[in-house]
Amino acid sequence: MYRTLKKEAYEANMQLPKLGLVLFTFGNVSAADRSLNVFAIKPSGVPYEDLSPEKMVIVDFDGNKVEGSLRPSSDTLTHAVLYKHWDVGGIVHTHSTYATAWAQAQRDIPIFGTTHADHNTIDIPCAPPMSDEMIQGDYEYQTGFQIINCFKQKALSYAEVEMVLVGNHAPFTWGKDANKAVYNSAVLESIAQMAYLTQSINADASRLKDALIKKHYERKHGPQSYYGQ
């Protein structure tokens, strides 16, 4: 029944090691079927080389396992909360090197250039570390709300900004499907590395001017976008 969904999740998960975004099992991708209110996600702690489409676990948007013999990713509840509240089709969590370093530094990633503006019009937000109450409660569930609350407080749209850093933790990205979410993870890692280098070269580097932000974002995303086929 969930064969296509599992295959989508499997193939997206297998992109993570290819793109250099994970060490061992430190990452996971899920793919949602929004008509059925379920998503397929990587099983917890299983090495990528041992994965297969059949091993993906089906979970509903409240975090209940629907199908599968393995235990789903320990981050499953974070995925569930985001699917429940946001209309997205795929979610990725990694500990990719440069994005995680910015999360550990508790810094938004400044918008320094057009590579960034091709994908976001703002600094990539870093949600603050969670309160002790949230951490000691249902941790992964609360991680989802920490992300949602960060977007509310900053008045950001998840449809426009498809990536976030969770302070002291690591990045999450999403998109219309699992493939787009993986794409966003790789883009975020590249932006994070270039921003790190930019600050190292010029500690006073200035943020991108508004006209250039607008132009590049609209080239790819505006109503008159002219990128791609």
Applying CB under 8 A, which residues contact a copy of itself? 23-24, 26, 43-46, 70-71, 74, 95, 97-98, 100-107, 112-115, 129-130, 132, 135-136, 139, 168-170, 183, 186-187, 190, 193-202, 205-206, 208-209, 211-212, 215, 219, 226-229
DSSP 8-state code for residue 124:
B
Nearer to a copy of itself, 36 or 205 (CB): 205
Query: In the bound complex, what is the minimum distance in angstroms from residue 34's beta carbon to a copy of itself?
Result: 26
> Closest Cα to residue 174, out of 166, 183, 35?
183
Query: In the bound complex, what is the minimum distance in angstroms from residue 36's beta carbon to a copy of itself?
Result: 25
> Closest Cα to residue 172, out of 112, 86, 110, 68?
86
Q: Annotated catalytic, 210? A: no
Query: In the bound complex, what is the minimum distance in angstroms from residue 70's beta carbon to a copy of itself?
Result: 6
> Closest Cα to residue 39, out of 85, 72, 74?
72
Nearer to a copy of itself, 155 or 228 (CB): 228
**DSSP state string for 26-72:** -EEEEEEETTTTEEEEPBTT--GGG--GGG-EEEETTS-EEE-SSPB
Q: Annotated catalytic, 118? A: yes
Please tell me the distance from the alpha carbon of residue 214 to that of residue 41, in angstroms, as a whole number: 35
Catalytic residue among 60, 108, 118, 177: 118
Question: What residues are labeled active site?
Answer: 118, 227
